[in-house]
A and B are shown apart, each in its own frame.
Chain A
Amino acid sequence: MSTYISTLRYSLYVIFHPFDGFWDLKREKRGSLSAALTITGILILTYVIRRQYTAFLFNTNDIKELNLILEIISVLLPFLLWCISNWCLTTLADGEGTFKDIVIATSYSLTPLVIINLPLIPLSYLFNLEEASMYYFFLTLSIIWTVGLMIFSTMITHQYTMKKTLLTIVGILIGMAVMIFIGLLFTSIIQQIIGFFYIIYKEIVFRF
């Protein structure tokens, strides 16, 4: 239990010392999968709460149309796609990280999104529109910070040079797009097949 908490607390060290942090995360086993999944879980929770409970001024979503499953998928799907695409590409390109390493490193680099966005939800009730730039500054900060960490996590987990890392990340993004494309293609084909058999079934039913 105490190792779990200490690995979870280690995420706070990682986000301020990315080079050192990601190195130890993998080589010194300072992180754990359970802590990583916890961070991702909290991130999902953050996004759901943010969507529902951000103050009126900063929340232009139609709350009537809030769909919990869609909200969860909108965080989880990109995360999984990133990890899978990352793993697919780096195993071929001399990456040193295993799939587990990638999941842990990616989750840990999502920490800024949680620690900035979660307090920002109650804070949003204190701002008016003139002070909105402050709110949006923190929002942007969390995203930039996370993107930076993602780059460093890929670089250090796989022991790449900066140039190779950036190239790999472009490749990862393309890989994600390809996966989405194949997924959509597959769903639509399955739909067609189901529709086809359903029509045959109806034809038979009407005939007899």
Chain B
Amino acid sequence: MKKLSKRIIVGVLTLMLLCSSLFIPTAKASVPYDSYTYNFWLDPVESPNPYVPKDEFTGDPTTMGKFNNPQDLFITKDGIIYVADTDNNRIVFLDTSFQYIGEITTFHNGDTFNKPQGIFVTEGNHIFVADTENQRIVEFDENKQFVREILRPETELITDNTSFRPTKVVIDGAGRIYTLAIGINSGIVELNPDGTFQGFTGASEVNINPISYVWRRYFATDEQKKRMELIIPTEYNNLFLDNEEFIYVTMGNVDVKDYGIDVIRRLNPSGINVIRDFGYGSPIGDYFVRDQQDITRFNDITVTDYQVYTALDGVNGKLFTYDYDGNLLYVFGSNGARQGNFKNAVSVEQYQGTLYVLDNGNNSITSFELTEYGSLVNNAIKLHYEGKYEESAENWQQVLKFNANSDMAYIGLGKVYLRNGEYKKAMDYFKLANNRKYYSKAFTFYRRQFLGDNFGLIMTSVVIIIICILGLRVYLKTKKINVQKREVNGI
């Protein structure tokens, strides 16, 4: 009898399993990567996919042919994709559904590019191309007509006389030009709007450990010094101008022993890193890779208007998204051979919630669209950034339905409860998210409230306890005296 019932149960369960597998959406299974975040202890925690691959574009044989080692991508506010198609020596324009619009190959009486690696388009649709091997920056107007070329700036500060090879370029609202150039490690080269040299900004510092410094300075012979690697600061490899005209930079060429340095920086106009770092860990990429060869090496970054930034780790083919406080929202993407995987991703841009990743291994652009989960998270962050806490909370509530491990959702909801004066509830949520800073805030209010509500009770019990203790002491004393009296009386 027992066996039979067991069999029935097993049978029913199997049937349920079969049925449920019919309803699992097939779209999820086709996503060629796992998404995750990190918890308080910096252990990876699986999460739903925030983005799924939508389309892959490798070129159009009838109009533009194929890409050849493209290096940079730029998307304007009106949805035109500009690609620096480096080894084809051209700039290609596409619309957001990858329809070919046009290209620049020759200009200004037959002049051509030589391996352009960077592209930037201003608000007024002026195109700036970092024409790397021609050692210049070329500007075009909104009609794709040649305006000027900006050659090697004349300054004594760039000591290497032979080359000025710009790779990436951004132009701020005042027309100042910021560019990164190969071999220049003093920071970002800042040029005036007329192309003259202004200075360096945001130089990254040298990383050196004290022991090797002392060895090199005092003990190493000249012969040994010659063979040692030079101590030079790490160069930035990409920049992004955000809507507040601060420059985000990434550092990709980091050594394993440099794990933990701030590889994403947000530079203010005076070149100081002002990135906010209030997440569980600093925004440096993966945490479980410490001391491994495949540490995160960012090579591009894109930032939304509400300061949510997505950085691309080209070596491991992953995208890391952080909010304005440095909280890690999600990690997704991987290298591989399936659609939506990367071979050697070099550039990332976004346009209205769709991410575009340029891959020079596959010579392709892949677009990723937000899932419902992803757009809920982004919306919640955006609303919170705009100060609409109530609406933000509604989004977080929805996020929790997709992902009960979302610490960000718990923090978001906790903050709303804290504002609404539901301190106990806020504490519970902050506890779930392991956020001690806000828990402490909520707790302080809760404690005050608790003391206020129960002041009478607490005081009464304290007074009663004191009276009891005093009474007991008096009682014991009189007992002792009585005993002594009896002893004296000889009883």
Q: Is B41 an interface residue (CB 8 A)?
A: yes
A-B CB contact pairs (8 Å), 9 listed: A56-B436, A57-B439, A57-B440, A57-B443, A60-B436, A126-B447, A128-B441, A128-B444, A128-B447
Q: Which of A122-139 contact B (CB under 8 A)?
A: 126, 128-130
Q: Provide the bound-state CA to CA distance between A168 and B443, in Å.
A: 48
Q: Is A62 an interface residue (CB 8 A)?
A: yes
Contact of B437 with A129 in the complex, beta carbons under 8 Å: yes
Closest Cβ–Cβ distance, residue A66 to chain B (whole Å): 13
| B contact face: mostly helix, strand, loop, or mixed | helix
Interface residues of chain A, those whose CB is within 8 Å of chain B, are 56-57, 60, 62, 126, 128-130
Closest Cβ–Cβ distance, residue A139 to chain B (whole Å): 17
Contact of B439 with A130 in the complex, beta carbons under 8 Å: no
Residues of chain B at interface, number, CB under 8 A: 10
Contact with A along B436-453 (1 / 0, CB 8 A): 110111011001000000
| A contact face: mostly helix, strand, loop, or mixed | helix
The residue from B431, B440, B447 contacting A129, defined by CB atoms under 8 A apart: B440
Contact partners of A129 in chain B: CB under 8 A: 436-437, 440
Closest Cβ–Cβ distance, residue B44 to chain A (whole Å): 14
Contact partners of A60 in chain B: CB under 8 A: 436
Say yes or no: A128-B41 contact (C-beta < 8 A), given A56-B431, A56-B436, A57-B436: no
Which residue on chain A has the smallest CB distance to residue B427? A56
Which residue on chain A has the smallest CB distance to residue B438? A129
Interface residues of chain B, those whose CB is within 8 Å of chain A, are 41, 431, 436-437, 439-441, 443-444, 447
Contact partners of A57 in chain B: CB under 8 A: 436, 439-440, 443
Contact of B447 with A130 in the complex, beta carbons under 8 Å: no
Closest Cβ–Cβ distance, residue B410 to chain A (whole Å): 14
Q: Provide the bound-state CA to CA distance between A57 and B443, in Å.
A: 10
Closest Cβ–Cβ distance, residue A164 to chain B (whole Å): 36
Closest Cβ–Cβ distance, residue A141 to chain B (whole Å): 23
Closest Cβ–Cβ distance, residue A134 to chain B (whole Å): 14
Contact of B436 with A130 in the complex, beta carbons under 8 Å: no
Q: Provide the bound-state CA to CA distance between A60 and B439, in Å.
A: 13
Closest Cβ–Cβ distance, residue B425 to chain A (whole Å): 15
Q: Provide the bound-state CA to CA distance between A57 and B431, in Å.
A: 9
Closest Cβ–Cβ distance, residue A110 to chain B (whole Å): 29
Contact partners of B447 in chain A: CB under 8 A: 126, 128
Contact partners of A130 in chain B: CB under 8 A: 440, 444
Contact partners of A56 in chain B: CB under 8 A: 431, 436, 439
Q: Provide the bound-state CA to CA distance between A128 and B439, in Å.
A: 9
Which residue on chain B has the smallest CB distance to residue A62? B41
Q: Provide the bound-state CA to CA distance between A62 and B436, in Å.
A: 14
Which residue on chain B has the smallest CB distance to residue A61? B41
Contact partners of A62 in chain B: CB under 8 A: 41
Q: Provide the bound-state CA to CA distance between A126 and B446, in Å.
A: 11
Report the 8 A-B pairs with minimum CB-CB distance, sorted nearest first: A129-B440, A128-B440, A128-B444, A128-B443, A56-B431, A57-B436, A62-B41, A57-B440
- What would 16 more interface pairs be, CB under 8 Å, given A57-B440, A130-B440? A56-B431, A56-B436, A56-B439, A57-B439, A57-B443, A60-B436, A62-B41, A126-B447, A128-B440, A128-B441, A128-B443, A128-B444, A128-B447, A129-B436, A129-B437, A130-B444
Contact partners of A128 in chain B: CB under 8 A: 440-441, 443-444, 447
